A and B are shown apart, each in its own frame.
Chain A
Amino acid sequence: MKAFAALLDRLAYTPSRNDKLKLMADYFASAPDPDRGYALAALTDGLFFRVPFRRIFAEMLETRVDPVLFRLSRDYVGDTAETISLLWPARKDDAPPPRLADVVEAVQAADKSEIPVLLAGWLDRLDATGRWALLKLLTGALRVGVSARLAKTALAQWSGKPLAEIEEVWHGLAPPYAALFAWLAGDAPPPDTAGKAVFRPLMLSHAIEDRELTGITPADFVAEWKWDGIRVQASHHGGEKRLFSRTGDDISGAFPDVVEALPEGVVLDGELLVMRGGEVAPFNDLQQRLNRKTVSASMLKSHPGHIRLYDLLFEGDEDLRGLPFEDRRARLEAWHAEHIPQHTDVSDIIDFTSISELESLWAGARETGIEGLMLKRRDSPYIAGRPKGHWYKWKRAPQMIDAVLMYAQRGSGKRSSYYSDYTFGAWRATKTGEPELVPVGKSYFGFTDEELKQLDSFVRSHTVDSFGPVRQVEPKLVFEVAFDSVHRSARHKSGVAMRFPRIHRIRWDKPAEEADRLETLTGLIVD
């Protein structure tokens, strides 16, 4: 537990991705089995305990801690679990602290009535960091800034095995992942996943700019619309039906309608959308179904899921990934025509003979939900990762507004000495007709390191107020902000939320009064 607690503690404070990878890789290299397997499970959200820990903690505290002191402490610390870990009045116990595996296996095997005694014993034998990690582990909310994919990337970094191979076997395995670690440590062959509904790493595309399009030979490529949903992989193998996100997270639970419809013996690639009456709904509607463990019947009805299919990876046990795209596409169409599963359709192929024809087609496309165009080589095999020279995505030119810098916040990691996160606003009129700025977005990228230095000194010399790490600045500096789209939002004071805003240009020259008004943004709302 000590090494795992130290790992979580460091991860929680470490902003850099590379340093997080190093911390995890070092842990996987040195921790014994099965502890490291359970740690991996915790980091990839693979551990669930059906025990009401919060209630148990509350009951245990009553017997050990003065309620006035607990309340004052809780108010100061701001987090109940952390407060418990810090002030737990440990009774002296000479037994060694528990191992991570002891804790996990004991909780899984224990009767509910035994849990409080077990827990009190562990809390007594751990230090504050150990208690904090124990509470995080048991309540299932690590929140240390590690995604499942990052943890798997650390496994790859430590073992030297490609990430794609790890992801390919991942979903056939269960904690504490003995077979996985045996393979990664070089002591055993890869775990056998034939015939299981496992995630096959996706093939991704490169962004292409307008000017690069001249290098494309139309005869070698096919074009498809790029839909504004999320890329998914759907599979039904060995009786298991699964829907995976682009990064291999299992999102089946949130989309039972889509998953149910899949016939046996298939792995598909497509875009997950919400569709109503044959129309793609705005991305916001899809977002309401994401990040849920389960979904209500009314939600299934009002926000029906749908996959627009792009590719066929497996049919039965046959791996099609080595075939050229054209052949896979023919197999996809034939398969779909045979099964016609509900909640799916096949993405249209767009005929074109020249890039200019494609451009005018796109300019004329009025359908909602189109985010751009995909260009795919006719002869490309399906290659995991982002291989060069095969697939291109051509996105619409971004929209722009001129907004005024209002607040700046310190960044993290390498940027912790800089005011690098910017909140900007647009003008609107108050009730009395006075102009006022209202925040419309926040961004921390799009500028160069040199510009960051200039922005940082601008913030420092134009600060009018500060709130902890945030500074309010004189409304003087204009940013040309690029963004993909703008949506209505009840959560923001301005009533709008931008998608993917970035600082396109700093307009040192432009007077703040000439920046855009809020109405300009609301006029661009797409939903």
Chain B
Amino acid sequence: MNPDRFDSWLKIDAKGLYCRPGGFYIDPHSAVRNAVVTHGHSDHARPGHGAVLATKETLAIMRARLGELAPRLPQEAAYGEPVSIGDVTVTLFPAGHVLGSAQVLIEYEGVRAVVSGDYKRSADPTCAPFELIPCDLFVTEATFALPVFQHGDARGEAAKLLRSVAQFPERTHVVGAYGLGKSQRLIALLRAEGYDRPIYLHGALQACCDLYESFGVALGALEPATGAKREMLKGQIVLAPPSAIADRWSRRLPDPLTSFASGWMRVRARARQQGIELPLVISDHADWRELTDTIAETGAREVWVTHGREDALLHHIRSTGRRGRALALIGREDEDQ
């Protein structure tokens, strides 16, 4: 293994990205003996692993979501605290994606590789902000890696939702939001805009909200939408998983106005295809500018792109004189849903 030849010690195999001198996978998509997990989303935190190194929050999320299939040997690591594993040193740093999300710095013989996991650099009151880690190899996500994705200020989108609630007080605003991260961020954004009425939740979102609150993220008054009186929901904001906003579940709501908080809402065809009336561009992933700025700021001489629209990002990386490589990891979904 030659530390300067990254692909001699960081390998892709059927289970995912493997660090040979450390003997562990990072976010493997099937069960392994040793893993480092960047964050709790289900396409990164898979069931059935043996030993898992992750932040306290990520381990708590895995326990809540995976039950008996949560890691058998959880090992907590605080942000910035180096941990020796085999011949490498691993340190987690905040990724700014969701509660507990981390970038993984792996140091091997003086060479530094950072695996970003999913990240964003815009403000989010519900998780620790992204920290820039200089490195030689940067392994980045590419969910929104096209120049058309430039996520504006999320506060403006929360204000847009509240304007619509004021303009259409007889309709129920049902907002599709991913259960882990997006829901809590949206609630926090609404609270920051001064919205203090109860926010109603689809049953599937309750557990993650409870977890956030147990880690000290205040979300204000939350009520279950399932079982609430139909008349009571008129004019209220209801959060639900994206799959439920325009399906049988939402029929219980009086005159629902469907909204969706996602980075994909930037593209009109995406919103129209899903019948969204009020698209909210709120993303928990880096946009084009954040991706390209971060790549430049890390000083990495080589960049690997894990999943997303890698064509455009590789074109950009190569045009700035760096080496770029697409990892084409399997098992990653169209994220930010």
Instruction: Give the B-binding residues of A (Cβ under 8 A).
Output: 10, 12-15, 19, 22-23, 26, 65-66, 68-70, 72-73, 76-79, 82-83, 86-87, 89, 127-128, 410, 412-414, 416-417, 468-469
Known contacts A13-B278, A83-B148; A76/B268 CB under 8 A: no
Query: Can you list 12 A-B pairs with a CB-CB distance of less than 8 A?
Result: A13-B279, A14-B277, A19-B168, A68-B312, A73-B146, A73-B312, A79-B268, A82-B267, A86-B266, A86-B267, A87-B150, A468-B273
Chain B residues near A12 (CB-CB < 8 A): 268
Which residues of chain B come closer than 8 Å to A87, judged between CB atoms?
146-148, 150, 288
User: Is A416 in contact with B258, judged by CB distance below 8 angstroms?
Assistant: yes
Which residues of B approach A to under 8 Å, CB–CB? 146-150, 152, 164, 167-168, 246-248, 250-251, 255, 258, 266-269, 271-273, 275-279, 288, 309, 311-312, 315-316, 319
Task: Provide the residues of chain A in CB contact with B250, threshold 8 Å.
Answer: 417
Chain B residues lying within 8 Å of A468, measured Cβ to Cβ, are 273
Q: Is the CB of B150 within 8 A of A86?
A: yes
> Assuming A414-B255, A417-B251, is B146 touching A72 (CB within 8 A)?
yes
**CB-based nearest B residue for A16:** B277
Report whether A86 and B148 are in contact in the complex, using a CB–CB cutoff of 8 Å.
Answer: yes
Q: Which B residues are CB-close (under 8 A) to A410?
A: 246, 275
CB distance from B153 to the nearest CB of A (A): 10
Name the B residues within 8 Å of A127 (CB-CB). 152
Other A-B pairs beyond A15-B277, A410-B246, A413-B277, 18, CB < 8 Å: A12-B268, A13-B277, A13-B278, A13-B279, A14-B277, A26-B167, A69-B312, A72-B309, A72-B315, A76-B146, A76-B148, A77-B269, A79-B268, A82-B267, A128-B266, A416-B246, A417-B248, A417-B250
Q: How far is the CA of A199 from the CA of B247 in the complex (A)?
A: 45
Query: When chains A and B are docked, how far (Å) is the Cα of A142 from the Cα of B288?
Result: 28
CB neighbours of B248 from chain A (8 A): 417
Q: B319 to chain A: which residues have CB within 8 Å?
A: 66
Q: In the complex, what residues of A have CB within 8 A of residue B278's CB?
A: 10, 13
Per CB-CB distance, the 8 closest pairs between chain A and chain B, nearest first, are A86-B148, A87-B147, A416-B275, A416-B246, A73-B148, A87-B148, A72-B312, A417-B246
A128/B150 in contact, CB under 8 A: yes
Contact of B267 among A22, A65, A76, A469 (CB under 8 A): A76
B275 touches A412 (CB 8 A): yes
Report the minimum CB–CB distance from B187 to chain A (whole Å).
23
Q: Choose among B146, B149, B255 the residue with the greatest number of A CB atoms under 10 Å from its CB.
A: B146
| Chain A residues with CB below 8 A from B149, complex form | 86
A426 to B250 alpha-carbon distance, docked (Å) = 35
Q: Which residues of A contact B168 (CB under 8 A)?
A: 19, 22
Q: Which B residues lie within 8 Å of A10 (CB)?
A: 164, 278
Q: Which residue of chain A is the closest to B265 with respect to CB atoms?
A: A13
Q: How far is the CA of A65 from the CA of B316 in the complex (A)?
A: 12
Whether A69 touches B315, Cβ cut-off 8 Å, given contacts A87-B148, A128-B150, A410-B275, is: yes
A69 in contact with B268 given A14-B277, A87-B148, A87-B150 (CB within 8 Å): no
Nearest-neighbor residue (CB-CB) of B152 within chain A:
A127
Cβ contacts under 8 Å, B312 to chain A = 68-69, 72-73
Interface contact B146-A78, CB-CB below 8 Å = no
Give the residue of B152, B273, B309, B315 whose beta carbon is less than 8 angstroms from that of A68.
B315
A468 and B247 CA atoms in complex are apart in Å by: 14
B239 CB to nearest A CB, Å: 17
Tell which of A13, A19, A68, A82 has the most Cβ of chain B within 10 Å: A13
Complex: how many Å from CA A12 to CA B250? 22
Chain A residues contacting B279 (CB-CB under 8 Å) are: 13
Which chain B residues border A417 with CB–CB below 8 Å?
246-248, 250-251
Give chain A residues whose Cβ lies under 8 Å from the Cβ of B272: 13
Q: Please, which residues of chain B bring their CB within 8 A of the CB of A72?
A: 146, 309, 311-312, 315
Distance between A266 CB and nearest chain B CB, rounded to angstroms: 46
Report how far A416 CA is from B267 CA in the complex, Å.
19
Q: Is the CB of A469 within 8 A of B273?
A: yes
Within the complex, what minimum Cβ distance (angstroms) separates B211 from chain A? 29
Contacts of A26 in B (CB 8 A): 167
> Shortest beta-carbon distance, B283 to chain A, in Å?
14
Least distance between A24 CB and chain B CB atoms (Å): 12
- In whole angstroms, what is the CA distance A13 to B167 when docked? 15
Which has the most chain A C-beta neighbours within 10 Å: B273, B309, B312? B312
